[in-house]
């Protein structure tokens, strides 16, 4: 089976094209080049430093495209710094043989904490239903290929419960949670960020617990603390819980190279050393 990251790269590229042409995203060419160049260079340097056998640009490419889609920065230097931090986090912050944070999520969260010159525009996608469906279909393909679609479906269910539950409690019309669900930013998060098989718990039950935890924390941030980009913050805050969930609910480790044959899944799987990729 082909590496699912190839599909992710093409989908992210398609989204970027749609965003720029169809929605008028202000993707600065210099920022985009700075992100892409820095991320690939950082991946190359880290590959040499860690002594990995070969340079694999796919994961760095996915992180770059995700950053280009989501990150807005006041200068290309800031964009490059975020890209470098994103890739570095994969190699530097590790526990029990796998990186703790989804790299893009880590890069965005730390950058927003560190500087008020960096931001994410959650409203940029709008809520065109057509786009929502398109994205759902494409995202579904990716999660299916990556074999860990359960975390996405569990998150969609849990987040839906949070939004519809809140609307029911407030007596709001359903148009409000539906509007919130139609957000492209939410779907990108669900299909392309939380779904990263390298940073989610190994056991299916663990992934369901994790998805529900992220949805609850995000609900607290969005409706309790009234902060934007709640999903990004929630994933960032919950990621350190993954090693604990893995300890409580152990299962075999995911590796891009070993996905997704059931027969192969029976075999003892050791942490991948061929590369250290991640999804977006």
Give the shortest CB-90-to-other proteins separation in angstroms.
Answer: 26
> Any contact of residue 114 with other proteins (CB under 8 A)?
no
User: Which residues partner with 118 through β-bridges?
Assistant: 73
Query: Measured from the CB atom, is 25 or 254 closer to other proteins?
Result: 25
209 CB neighbour count, 10 Å cutoff: 18
Candidate residues 117, 247, 264, 270; the one interacting with other proteins per rule CB under 8 A: 117
Q: How many residues bind other proteins (CB under 8 A)?
A: 33
> Any contact of residue 126 with other proteins (CB under 8 A)?
yes
Tokens standing for 268? 């003892």
Q: How far, in Å, CA of 251 to CA of 94, rounded?
A: 18
Name residues whose C-beta falls within 8 Å of residue 213's C-beta, 6 or more positions apart in sequence. Answer: 238, 241
> Any contact of residue 29 with other proteins (CB under 8 A)?
no
> Any contact of residue 168 with other proteins (CB under 8 A)?
no
> Given the rule CB under 8 A, which of 164-172, 199-207, 208-216, 260-268 is the region that contacts other proteins?
164-172
Give the shortest CB-21-to-other proteins separation in angstroms.
Answer: 14
> Any contact of residue 169 with other proteins (CB under 8 A)?
yes
Site for other proteins in 63-82 (CB under 8 A): 72-74
CA distances from 271 to 98, 216, 256, 257 (A): 7, 30, 10, 11
Helix (H) or strand (E) holding 98: strand 98-99
CB 214 within 8 A of CB 155: yes
Query: Measured from the CB atom, is 176 or 269 closer to other proteins?
Result: 176
Tokens standing for 244? 């604990």
Candidate residues 1, 21, 49, 225; the one interacting with other proteins per rule CB under 8 A: 225
CB 232 within 8 A of CB 105: yes
Sites of contact with other proteins (CB under 8 A): 23-24, 72-74, 115-119, 121-128, 169-173, 175-176, 179-180, 183, 225-229
């Amino acid at each position: 089976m082909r590496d699912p990251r190839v599909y992710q790269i093409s989908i992210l590229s398609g989204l970027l094209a749609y965003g720029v042409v169809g929605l008028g995203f202000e993707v600065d060419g210099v920022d985009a080049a700075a992100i892409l160049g820095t991320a690939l260079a950082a991946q190359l340097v880290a590959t040499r430093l860690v002594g990995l056998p070969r340079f694999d640009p796919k994961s760095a490419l996915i992180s770059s495209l995700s950053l280009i889609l989501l990150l807005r920065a006041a200068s290309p230097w800031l964009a490059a710094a975020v890209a470098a931090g994103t890739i570095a986090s994969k190699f530097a912050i590790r526990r029990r043989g796998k990186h703790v944070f989804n790299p893009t999520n880590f890069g965005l969260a730390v950058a927003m904490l560190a500087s008020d010159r960096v931001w994410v525009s959650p409203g940029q996608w709008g809520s065109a239903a057509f786009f929502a469906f398109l994205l759902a279909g494409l995202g579904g393909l990716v999660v299916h290929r990556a074999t860990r679609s359960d975390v996405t479906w569990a998150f969609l269910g849990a987040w839906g419960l949070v939004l519809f539950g809140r609307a029911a409690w407030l007596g709001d019309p359903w148009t409000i949670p539906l509007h919130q669900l139609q957000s492209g930013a939410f779907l990108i998060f669900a299909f392309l960020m939380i779904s990263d098989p390298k940073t989610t718990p190994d056991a299916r039950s663990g992934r369901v617990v994790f998805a529900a935890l992220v949805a609850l924390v995000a609900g607290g941030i969005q409706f309790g603390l009234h902060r934007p980009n709640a999903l990004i913050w929630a994933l960032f805050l919950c990621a350190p819980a993954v090693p604990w969930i893995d300890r409580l609910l152990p299962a075999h480790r995911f590796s891009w190279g070993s996905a997704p044959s059931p027969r192969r899944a029976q075999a003892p799987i050791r942490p991948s050393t061929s590369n250290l990729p991640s999804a977006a």
